[in-house]
Amino acid sequence: MDFTLDEELEAVRVLANEIFADRATTERVRAVEGSPARLDEELWAELGKAGLLGIALPEEAGGAGLGLGALCVLLEEQGRHVAPVPLWPAAVGALAVAAHGTREQRESLLPGAADGSSRLTVALEEFGPGDPAEPGCAARPDGDSWRLTGVKAVVPSPFGAAHVLVSAAAAGAGPGLFLVGSDAEGVSWEAEETTSHDLAGTLTLDGAPAEAVGTPGDGAVAWTIERAAVALAAVQLGVAQGAIRHAVTYLSERRQFGRPLGTFQAVQHQLADCYIDADAMRVCLWQAVTSLDEGQDAAAAVLVAKWWAGDAGLTVAHRVQHVHGGIGVDVDYPVHRHFLWARQISGTLGGPSAGLARLGELVAAGRIAS
């Protein structure tokens, strides 16, 4: 299958690369990591002005209507530059509202999501080893609305987000998505620093008022988790490619015994393995995107893409650090940031082992050939 980008997606890639290369320099990223919010508001505004924040949203919502593939191109470029902006949670939340929300929800939330004037985040994970598709957070009806009670873990970049899209289980109906105001009654936050130096939040809900996005049990939670997993795989692909770029630059300039380190066979083999892993990540990512876009049962393709992102992405980061020698573990050296991002992404929505277990469940259920 040919996964070459078409003209529209290539134009998205070029524009995104220009903005990130200009605005997400090593010095700028380091400065943002030391700021209270841990995200680059100026870069966020620039992405909004360029129309990239709404790249996947429908045109009637103020977006470009280019779909999940365009979002993945954008996220890959973000990962390549490890740019500190909350793209994947904001975009996935907006896509979920576009696909499952009411007309009022779409009209009130999506224009701001497209131009960057407001943003969403998603609360899909909880403490413990459970499957994100089976949340423990409880939803109970309250007239025409709902009340949520429970704890959500590692909510990405919640501070500054106006609303949170929460996965919760409604008794007798199943899991559903619910829209909660980030400062609503019954909502409390505890800030947590992640491996990648972002600020996440532990969200505690104590009878917090919420609106259903779709109907509990309608598959919206699984739909959103699949898109979140693919989005994370796209970021991780960029992280791996950016790390390889650092390695190539370093090994071309660093000399030993009178010649560049990159000419040594053992080092070349390490980089060849990195290239193979990154290419496998790319192929599996676009297989998952194609399956989702074509309306196929994409559960297996998404899990495979997520597994490659978690396992191979982290392996690439380790190899790149290794070929850098002692400077590779210097926390101030740029390549270390790629390792931290790779580590954080690898465990988000469940690590590689959890993904393999879910793939095994699909095989046992006869949904994919063994």
Segment 127-138, tens digit of pLDDT: 988 899 999 999
The pLDDT value given to residue 368: 75
Name all domains of the chain by residue range, CATH numbers in brackets.
Answer: 7-118 (1.10.540.10), 121-213 (2.40.110.10), 220-364 (1.20.140.10)
The pLDDT value given to residue 49: 97
In the predicted model, is pLDDT for residue 208 greater than 70?
yes
What confidence tier does 14 reach under pLDDT thresholds 50, 70, 90? very high
pLDDT tens profile 284-334: 999 999 999 999 999 999 999 999 999 999 999 999 998 888 787 788 888
Tell the burial category of 131 from Cβ atoms under 10 Å away from its Cβ (0-12, 13-18, 19+): middle
Lowest mean pLDDT of 94-98, 139-143, 330-334, 354-358, name the range: 330-334
Is the alpha carbon torsion for 200, 79, 340, 273 positive or negative? positive
The pLDDT value given to residue 201: 97
Distance of CA 32 to the CA centre of its chain: 19
Q: How far is CA 302 from CA 72, 86, 175, in A?
A: 13, 21, 20
Q: Quick one: average pLDDT of 103-108?
A: 96
Is the alpha carbon torsion for 262, 266, 268, 274 positive or negative? negative
Q: Quick one: average pLDDT of 9-32?
A: 96
Mean of the per-residue pLDDT values for the chain? Answer: 94
The pLDDT value given to residue 370: 52
Q: Quick one: average pLDDT of 39-61?
A: 96
Q: Quick one: average pLDDT of 160-188?
A: 97
**Among the listed residues 92, 88, 84, 67, the one whose alpha carbon sits nearest the alpha carbon of residue 12:** 67
The pLDDT value given to residue 1: 61
pTM above 0.85, yes or no: yes
Neighbours of 310 (CB within 10 A): 29
- Residue 27 backbone dihedrals phi, psi, to 5 degrees: -65, -40
How far apart CA 137 and CA 148 sit, in angstroms, is 7
Percent residues over pLDDT 70 in the chain: 99
How far apart CA 145 and CA 166 sit, in angstroms, is 14
pLDDT tens profile 218-265: 999 999 999 999 999 999 999 999 999 998 888 887 777 777 777 778
In the predicted model, is pLDDT for residue 77 greater than 80?
yes
Q: Quick one: average pLDDT of 146-163?
A: 97
Lowest mean pLDDT of 41-45, 147-151, 283-287, 333-337, name the range: 333-337
The 3 state secondary structure assigned to 46-101 is HHHHCCCCCCCCCHHHCCCCCHHHHHHHHHHHHHHHCCCCCHHHHHHHHHHHHHHC
The pLDDT value given to residue 97: 98
The pLDDT value given to residue 117: 96
The pLDDT value given to residue 324: 83
In the predicted model, is pLDDT for residue 212 greater than 80?
yes
Strand partners, 199: 193
Token pair in block for residue 120: 């969403």
**Among the listed residues 68, 6, 61, 66, the one whose alpha carbon sits nearest the alpha carbon of residue 293:** 68
Lowest mean pLDDT of 112-126, 151-165, 312-326, 334-348, name the range: 312-326
Please report, to the nearest 10 degrees, the dihedral formed by the alpha carbons of residues 13, 16, 18, 19 taken in order.
Answer: 180
Q: Are 117 and 80 in contact (CB under 8 A)?
A: no
The pLDDT value given to residue 331: 83
The pLDDT value given to residue 369: 61
